[in-house]
Amino acid sequence: MAVIKTNSEDTKMLARLMRAEAEGEGELGMLMVGNVGVNRVRGNCIDFRNIRSIPDMVYQKPGGFEATTKGYFYQSARDKDIRLAERVINGERQHPASNALWFFRPAGSCPDTWWDQANSGRFKKHCFFVPTPEACPSVY
């Protein structure tokens, strides 16, 4: 059962974002990016208040995703990407992105915190960061 409200176009948009941000990190990396996106829609907290849909989340300014400005995001969603997006929309979570609201790719090691958010771990080249449960209970 879906944990956020979507339609087929929203699902394709999330699939495109997941591919654009993490295709080089395989399906698991793409699922983790999807977790962050779904958490931002669910969260209604911190930097993501009033983000109620996948388009709101993808195009949020400031705070959106680099892929939307680099062009790669605008490729079509493939069937396998859509299936991955459906998995995260239906609530599948992957650690360290399970409760994460942020990720980035540092040049070196992951910092312990990023903008006062705790590092929940690294997957390949991306570091993931989580809010405290008190600051954003809806992502836990």
Domain range enclosing 68? 8-139
The verdict on residue 3 lying in a domain is no
Q: For residue 115, what is the domain's CATH number?
A: 1.10.10.2520
C-alpha atoms less than 13 angstroms from C-alpha of 47 in its C-beta half-sphere: 18
Q: Are 105 and 111 in contact (CB under 8 A)?
A: no
Q: Are 50 and 44 in contact (CB under 8 A)?
A: yes
Domain count, the chain: 1
The verdict on residue 1 lying in a domain is no
pLDDT tier for residue 72 given thresholds of 50, 70 and 90: confident
pLDDT tens for residues 23-51? Answer: 999 999 999 999 999 999 999 999 999 99
Averaged pLDDT, 73-94: 96
Instruction: Give me 74's structure tokens.
Output: 């605008």
The verdict on residue 26 lying in a domain is yes
Q: Are 34 and 14 in contact (CB under 8 A)?
A: yes
How far apart CA 88 and CA 33 sit, in angstroms, is 9
Q: Measuring CA to CA, which residue among 70, 63, 85, 69 is closest to residue 9?
A: 85
How far apart CA 98 and CA 120 sit, in angstroms, is 9
Full-model pTM: 0.96
- pLDDT score, position 71: 76
Q: What is the dihedral of CA 54, 55, 61, 66, to 10 degrees?
A: 80
Q: In the predicted model, what is the mean pLDDT of the chain?
A: 95
Q: Integer distance in angstroms from the first to the last C-alpha of the chain?
A: 17
Averaged pLDDT, 5-12: 98
Tell me the residue length of the chain: 140
